[in-house]
Amino acid sequence: MPERIEDYEVLGIIGTGSFGTCYKVRKRNTSHVFVWKAVDYGSMSEERKKLLVSEVNLLRELRHPNIVRYYDRILHKESATIYIIMEWCVGGDLATMITKCKRNNTYLEEAFIWRALYQTSRALQACHSPGRPVLHRDIKPANLFLDSDFNIKLGDFGLARILTNAKDDDKEDENDSLYAQTVVGTPYYMSPEVVKGSKYNRKSDVWSLGCVIYELCSLTPPFSSGNIKSLTTRIKGGRFERIPSHYSNELQQMITFMLTVNHEIRPSIETILHHPSVVTHIATWS
Ligand SMILES: CN(C)CCCNS(=O)(=O)c1cccc(Nc2nc(OCC3CCCCC3)c3[nH]cnc3n2)c1
């Protein structure tokens, strides 16, 4: 029996993402808490709607301990809204965690940062697997969530890409780079190759992940500026301050490796997961 929106009780709104409104909901018959993202598809063209439904169906197949679980979708024709039902991540997102550290003048534990690197890499490995290259395109702290055991959950798969364009279906964006279209804020995590207009590729996710891991250490992104022009110049230059001195040289070297400007020599996710530093740190933790 397909689910209906009446099966859920809305507990509250938690915000609007790059594509729709996000609610915390409780399923009436089990009391389990979920998130649903309500997306208005009323203004979408027929083919965009088909793309959206096929993308959401694809997401339901993405089952991984470090990827936010997509459970189901409810097509509410009366309001031309699709409700995407997802796992509620009780620990919130890394952007909020970084903000709290800045406010309290505290730094994150190095062990947590290695774990975040490992778990996010495992999530990307699942997306980069040859069978189904679902490139993420929007790796940033606000898209990385935490469960009750502080495990990382990568969220907002692909959706941002498809749904951000949904609004202006009629007009094509002048900048065709899909990544640029999905960036709803300042592109702090955009890779040099995408800045230069090349196609987004698996190594672009590695660059963005490098920026996120840097930010978990320094509480600020490796490349920032007041305007996009100088930000993109800094990204292409690839130079950044060392992470705070209490973090190990090993972690500094791993981040430097991921932030290699030339994507051809930048490590792949596989290289990162098999890197001796990662293997050593994960062994001490697990
Ligand atoms: C940085 N801020 C904009 C957001 C801070 C975050 N606070 S919050 O939203 O209340 C909060 C507090 C505690 C837990 C959670 N859990 C959670 N949040 C999601 O999305 C957040 C939402 C995404 C669109 C933009 C607005 C925020 C999930 N998506 C799938 N599973 C999710 N689980 C959220």
Mean pLDDT, rounded, for 131-154: 86
- Token digits for 62? 């993405």
Q: What is the ipTM of this complex?
A: 0.92
Mean pLDDT computed over every residue of the chain? 88
Q: Which atom of ligand 1 lies closest to the CA of 16?
A: 25
Q: Is 34 in the pocket of ligand 1 (CB under 6 A)?
A: no
Q: Is the pLDDT of residue 182 over 70?
A: no
Mean pLDDT, rounded, for 70-99: 95
Residue with the larger pLDDT of the pair 170 and 202: 202
Residue/partner pairs of 227-232 with CB below 8 Å, 24 or more apart = 228/186, 228/187, 231/186, 231/187, 231/188, 232/187, 232/190, 232/195
Residue with the larger pLDDT of the pair 48 and 102: 102
Testing ligand 1's pocket by substitution, the residue of 89, 98, 146 carrying the most ligand atoms inside 8 A of its CB is: 89
Q: Which atom of ligand 1 lies closest to the CA of 153?
A: 31
* Selection from 91, 99, 96 nearest residue 119 by Cα: 91
Q: Which atom of ligand 1 lies closest to the CA of 89?
A: 33
Q: Is the pLDDT of residue 181 over 60?
A: no
Residues of the chain with pLDDT > 90, as a percent, come to: 71
Testing ligand 1's pocket by substitution, the residue of 18, 93, 140 carrying the most ligand atoms inside 8 A of its CB is: 93
Q: Is the pLDDT of residue 286 over 80?
A: no
Residue nearest to atom 10 of ligand 1 (CA): 14
What confidence score (pLDDT) does residue 2 get?
74
Mean pLDDT, rounded, for 76-94: 95
Q: Is the pLDDT of residue 101 over 90?
A: yes
How far is residue 156's CA from residue 142's CA, in Å, rounded to a whole number? Answer: 10
What confidence score (pLDDT) does residue 168 get?
41
Q: Is 35 in the pocket of ligand 1 (CB under 6 A)?
A: yes
Q: Is the pLDDT of residue 173 over 60?
A: no
Mean pLDDT, rounded, for 193-212: 95
What confidence score (pLDDT) does residue 58 get?
80
| Tokens 């500026």 sit on residue | 225
What is the whole-number distance in angstroms between the Cα of residue 263 and the centre of ligand 1? 31
Residues of the chain with pLDDT > 70, as a percent, come to: 86
Testing ligand 1's pocket by substitution, the residue of 11, 13, 14 carrying the most ligand atoms inside 8 A of its CB is: 14
What confidence score (pLDDT) does residue 143 get?
93
Q: Is 272 in the pocket of ligand 1 (CB under 6 A)?
A: no
**φ/ψ of residue 139, rounded to 5:** -75, 115
Give the ranges where 77-190 is alpha helix by DSSP (H): 94-104, 110-128, 159-167, 178-182
What confidence score (pLDDT) does residue 160 get?
57
Q: Is 185 in the pocket of ligand 1 (CB under 6 A)?
A: no
How far is residue 246's CA from residue 221's CA, in Å, rounded to a whole number? Answer: 18
State pLDDT tens for residues 241-269. Answer: 999 999 999 999 999 999 999 999 999 99
- Token digits for 109? 């534990």
What confidence score (pLDDT) does residue 211 get?
98
Contacts of 58 (CB under 8 A, 6+ apart): 132, 134, 158
What confidence score (pLDDT) does residue 52 get?
84
Q: Is the pLDDT of residue 45 over 80?
A: yes
What confidence score (pLDDT) does residue 80 get?
93
Which residues belong to the active site?
Answer: 138
pTM: 0.89
Residue nearest to atom 13 of ligand 1 (CA): 92
Q: Is 141 in the pocket of ligand 1 (CB under 6 A)?
A: no
